[in-house]
């Protein structure tokens, strides 16, 4: 058991993202209300965004803006270890845009469903569909 | 000009989508011509690209001039070139056919419909030509989001079906993104060619296997591979017919292409051949897809839903072929991407023509259609024969390669399931022909009042010419592709089958 404790403590960012992902997935599967399912979907996507953001972080790293002006040659060279990795963060800007767009489409569809069925509870909608 | 083809394939329709959306506000009349322009640019440049790739070898296009591992590149070889040409031509043909259906069904939504249509095709073409794993995710989501909206335009149960597709599709895309994240952690790269190089020393590592499995689950979700197919029948069954005949043939096929691309160009065949247990499992899943798709199709009483379940079975053919692990089966899988796109297009377009006239595709609506719509039904018959696998229609040849691949791998389950699925297709389509040919038309009355058996000549009520001509082109394409199998395999497919496959 003891050998697993460091696994939890040092890699806690992974456990957090997996927990969030499962919460989102559970909401998408188990919730009856369509808007709650959409919230679950958003949690699911956010988990992956957090995962990406966490892999770019470094202990002691600063924001990746290079300041010029001090020293020449070796001293002016950029030490990558001083800066956090900006690439995963930039990728996630795109992923956030995608998830916002997905949310928009999902909510638009929900409005259309509500206009037709007058409810957002999935079991009531299925009931109506079975009757018709 | 010709060196810009890879960019034009994507940029042309993308810019035209913008113009179409503006035209939708100002001059709805201009939407269709602008959409035709966009897809025309895509179709001509992808054809030019195919010719270029076949004569000069693979093309690498640096977007913005950035060198490969840092910048995004479009890498085009025979496989993407042929799939891009296929996608753009099928989409263009379907656009012509969609004109009348959109006019009658969604007269107030012409602008949004064509914008979404062109954007969706842009995403598919981008996925096909890109050489960057993350870029692929973005384009995948462009296609998917426009696809949800296109399906949601339909009435009745379409929005609910589309929302379910959205949930499952988002899970799928997120899994793909997660898999790419794992690959990024172990390599620090997102470029496919670069990834393949960096991953070679890592073969056998658990992180790589996890990345592979997660990516695959994501892609399977998007292509509706059997246990993850739940969204497909409703989404394609309730979609507006012009959207169904765009998405059903192309979306699943593009995803199968992406899977094959990830298998051979990122993880490489050496890695796949070393994971024997995984490929066994996948081939058996494919067997289950073929059998279950066929059986579920048998239970349907609606033409479009039945076709949707056949799509589920067809995905099984291609995934199984790609995973059998030999050259013949891989050839069959790639050939089947091309053939299946055209035959699915043909049958869905025929269903669209029928819907245009009868306002329904339930089996009762099909009665007497051979007399009423002879040309449409002839094209449906051609598509059906191709799906069953009758020579000289193209379906026969790809199945032939798949079966030979199955025999070479000694996988009797795959061969048996493929034959079973073909036989089920025979039953499915001949049931439809029986209804359409022999059962008299029912108008809710008459039929039993003594003079019902020969009620005089039936008036011809064919679909409009703008739908019929594209349908005929698709049906003739089935025969043309069948006859062109030899050169297609020799010149295009064989050179890109990786040498590592047995």
Which of B162, B166, B185 is opposite residue A102, by nearest beta carbon? B166
Ranking B69-73, B92-96, B166-170, B175-179 by mean pLDDT, the lowest is B69-73
Integer Cα distance of B440 and B145 in angstroms: 43
pLDDT at A71: 61
Q: Does the beta carbon of A49 lie under 8 angstroms from any beta carbon of chain B?
A: no
pLDDT at B464: 81
pLDDT at B448: 43
What number of C-beta contacts closer than 8 Å exist between A and B? Answer: 66
- Counting the structural domains of chain B, the total is 1
pLDDT at B445: 43
pLDDT tens digits, B417-471: 999 999 999 999 998 888 888 877 655 444 444 444 444 556 777 778 888 899 9
pLDDT at residue B328 tops 60: yes
Nearest-CA neighbor of B32 among B248, B222, A123, B40? B40
Nearest-CA neighbor of B234 among B225, B242, B224, B219? B224
Residue B312 placed within a domain: yes
pLDDT at B453: 44
pLDDT at B442: 56
pLDDT at B142: 94
Q: Does the beta carbon of A44 lie under 8 angstroms from any beta carbon of chain B?
A: yes
Integer Cα distance of B103 and B96 in angstroms: 12
pLDDT at B271: 85
pLDDT band at B391 (very low <50, low <70, confident <90, very high): confident
Which of B163, B173, B185 is opposite residue A109, by nearest beta carbon? B163
Owning domain of residue A14 = 4-60+83-131
- C-alpha distances (whole Å) from B290 to each of B233, B297, B305, B362 are 15, 11, 16, 24
* CB B39, CB B92: distance < 8 Å: yes
Q: Does the beta carbon of A23 lie under 8 angstroms from any beta carbon of chain B?
A: no
* CB B242, CB B351: distance < 8 Å: no
Average of per-residue pLDDT values in chain B: 88
Chain B residues lying within 8 Å of A13, measured CB to CB: none
| A97 CB-side CA count, 13 A | 10
Q: How far apart are the first and last CA of chain B?
A: 40
pLDDT tens digits, B9-19: 999 999 999 99
pLDDT at A72: 62
pLDDT tens digits, B78-127: 999 999 999 999 999 999 988 888 888 887 888 889 999 999 999 999 99
Q: In chain A, which residue's Cα lies nearest the Cα of B144?
A: A102
Question: CA triplet B108, B110, B111: central angle to 5 degrees?
Answer: 110
pLDDT at residue B264 tops 60: yes
Owning domain of residue B393 = 276-443+458-502
pLDDT at A75: 59
Quick one: which H or E segment has residue A86? Answer: helix A86-117
Contact A129 B174 (CB under 8 A): no
Residue A52 placed within a domain: yes
Integer Cα distance of B277 and B48 in angstroms: 42
Integer Cα distance of B39 and B23 in angstroms: 16
Quick one: which H or E segment has residue B417? Answer: helix B412-438
Q: What is the mean pLDDT of residues B54-67?
A: 86
* CB B171, CB A21: distance < 8 Å: no
**CB neighbour list of residue B261: distance below 8 Å, 6 or more residues apart:** B79, B80, B192
pLDDT at B89: 94
Residue B243 placed within a domain: no
Average of per-residue pLDDT values in chain A: 86
pLDDT band at B307 (very low <50, low <70, confident <90, very high): very high
- Chain B nearest CA to A131, separation (Å): 13
Residue B463 placed within a domain: yes
Residue A25 placed within a domain: yes
Integer Cα distance of B358 and B376 in angstroms: 12
Residue A89 placed within a domain: yes
Residue B188 placed within a domain: no
pLDDT at B449: 42
Residue B28 placed within a domain: no
pLDDT at B450: 40
Chain A residues lying within 8 Å of B137, measured CB to CB: 95
Integer Cα distance of B74 and B63 in angstroms: 7
Contact A45 B174 (CB under 8 A): yes
Q: Does the beta carbon of A50 lie under 8 angstroms from any beta carbon of chain B?
A: no
DSSP-derived secondary structure for B314-325: HHHHHHHHHHS-
- Chain A nearest CA to B254, separation (Å): 20
Strand partners, B362: B302
Question: CA triplet B231, B235, B238: central angle to 5 degrees?
Answer: 145
Phi and psi angles of residue B435, each rounded to the nearest 5 degrees, phi first: -60, -45
- Whether a cis peptide bond, with omega within 30° of 0, leads into B289 is no
Contact A48 B184 (CB under 8 A): no
- Chain A nearest CA to B359, separation (Å): 18
- C-alpha distances (whole Å) from B46 to each of B62, B86, B171, B253, B423 are 17, 9, 31, 17, 36
pLDDT at B456: 52
CATH number of the domain enclosing A121: 1.10.287.3510
Task: Characterize B350-364 residue by residue with b for buried, 16 or more Cβ atoms within 10 angstroms of its Cβ, and e for exposed.
Answer: bbbbbbbbbeebebe
pLDDT at B451: 42
Contact B138 A98 (CB under 8 A): yes
* CB B198, CB B183: distance < 8 Å: no
Integer Cα distance of B381 and B378 in angstroms: 5
Ranking A25-34, B20-29, B362-371 by mean pLDDT, the lowest is B362-371
Cα dihedral B301, B305, B307, B311 sign: negative
Q: Which two tokens stand for residue A20?
A: 């969030």
Which of A91, A109, A129 is opposite residue B162, by nearest beta carbon? A109
Chain A residues lying within 8 Å of B184, measured CB to CB: 55, 88
In this structure, the number of other CB atoms found within 10 A of the CB of residue B183 comes to 28
pLDDT at A40: 94
Structure-model confidence comparison of residues B425 and B270, the more confident one = B425
In this predicted complex, what is the ipTM? Answer: 0.91
Residue B130 placed within a domain: no
- Chain A nearest CA to B319, separation (Å): 26
pLDDT at B386: 92
Chain A residues lying within 8 Å of B181, measured CB to CB: 48, 51-52, 55, 88
Chain B residues lying within 8 Å of A29, measured CB to CB: none
- Counting the structural domains of chain A, the total is 1
pLDDT at residue B279 tops 90: no
pLDDT at B500: 76
Contact B141 A44 (CB under 8 A): no
Q: Which two tokens stand for residue B141?
A: 């989501």
Running DSSP on this structure, what letter comes out for residue B75? E
Residue A75 placed within a domain: no
Residue B338 placed within a domain: yes
Integer Cα distance of B123 and B88 in angstroms: 11
- Chain A nearest CA to B378, separation (Å): 34
Strand partners, A62: A83
Contact A116 B171 (CB under 8 A): no
* CB B337, CB B318: distance < 8 Å: yes
């Amino acid at each position: 058991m003891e050998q697993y404790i460091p696994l939890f403590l040092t890699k806690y960012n992974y456990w957090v993202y997996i927990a969030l992902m499962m919460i989102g997935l559970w909401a998408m599967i188990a919730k009856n209300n369509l808007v709650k399912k959409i919230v679950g979907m958003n949690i699911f996507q956010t988990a992956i965004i957090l995962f990406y953001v966490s892999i770019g972080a470094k202990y002691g790293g600063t924001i990746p803006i290079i300041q010029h002006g001090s020293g020449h040659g070796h001293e002016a060279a950029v030490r990558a270890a001083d800066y956090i990795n900006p690439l995963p963060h930039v990728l996630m800007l795109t992923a956030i845009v995608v998830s916002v767009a997905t949310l928009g489409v999902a909510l638009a569809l929900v409005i259309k469903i509500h206009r037709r069925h007058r409810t957002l509870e999935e079991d009531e909608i299925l009931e109506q569909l079975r009757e018709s | 000009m010709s060196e810009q083809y890879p960019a034009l394939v994507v940029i042309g329709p993308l810019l035209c989508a913008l113009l179409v959306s503006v035209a939708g506000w100002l001059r709805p009349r201009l939407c269709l011509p602008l959409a035709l322009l966009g897809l025309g640019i895509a179709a001509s440049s992808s054809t030019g690209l195919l010719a270029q790739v076949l004569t000069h070898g693979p093309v690498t296009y640096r977007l913005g001039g950035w060198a490969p591992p840092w910048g995004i590149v479009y890498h085009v070889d025979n496989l993407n070139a042929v799939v891009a040409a296929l996608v753009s031509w099928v989409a263009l043909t379907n656009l012509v056919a969609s004109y009348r259906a959109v006019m009658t069904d969604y007269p107030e939504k012409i602008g949004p419909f064509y914008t979404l249509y062109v954007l969706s095709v842009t995403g598919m073409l981008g996925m096909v030509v890109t050489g960057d794993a993350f870029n692929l995710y973005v384009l995948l989501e462009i296609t998917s989001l426009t696809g949800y909206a296109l399906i949601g335009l339909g009435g009745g149960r379409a929005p609910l079906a589309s929302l379910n597709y959205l949930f499952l599709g988002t899970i799928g895309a997120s899994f793909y993104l997660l898999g790419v994240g794992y690959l990024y952690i172990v390599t620090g790269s997102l470029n496919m060619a670069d990834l393949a190089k960096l991953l070679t020393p890592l073969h056998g590592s658990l992180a790589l296997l996890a990345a592979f499995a997660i990516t695959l689950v994501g892609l399977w979700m998007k292509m509706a591979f059997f246990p993850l197919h739940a969204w497909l029948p409703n989404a394609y069954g309730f979609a507006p017919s012009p959207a169904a005949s765009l998405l059903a043939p192309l979306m699943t096929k593009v995803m199968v292409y992406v899977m094959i691309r990830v298998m051979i160009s990122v993880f490489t065949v050496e890695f796949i051949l070393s994971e024997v247990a995984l490929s066994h499992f996948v081939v058996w899943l494919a067997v289950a897809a073929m059998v279950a798709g066929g059986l579920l199709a048998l239970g349907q009483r609606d033409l479009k839903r039945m076709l949707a379940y056949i799509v589920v079975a067809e995905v099984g053919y291609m995934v199984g072929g790609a995973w059998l692990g030999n050259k013949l089966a891989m050839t069959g899988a790639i050939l089947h991407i091309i053939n299946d796109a055209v035959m699915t297009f043909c049958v869905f377009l025929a269903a669209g023509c029928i819907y245009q006239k009868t306002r329904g595709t339930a089996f009762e609506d099909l009665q007497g259609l051979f007399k009423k719509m002879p040309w449409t039904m002839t094209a449906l018959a051609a598509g059906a024969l191709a799906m069953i696998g009758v020579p000289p229609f193209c379906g026969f040849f790809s199945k032939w390669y798949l079966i030979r691949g199955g025999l070479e791998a000694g996988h009797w389950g795959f061969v048996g399931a493929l034959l079973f699925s073909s036989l089920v297709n025979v039953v499915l389509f001949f049931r439809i022909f029986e209804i359409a040919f022999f059962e008299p038309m029912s108008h809710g009355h008459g039929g039993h009042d003594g003079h019902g058996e020969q009620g005089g000549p039936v008036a011809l009520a064919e679909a409009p010419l703008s739908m019929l001509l594209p349908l005929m082109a698709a049906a003739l394409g089935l025969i043309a592709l069948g006859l062109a199998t030899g050169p297609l395999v020799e010149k295009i497919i064989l050179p890109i089958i990786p040498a590592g496959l047995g």
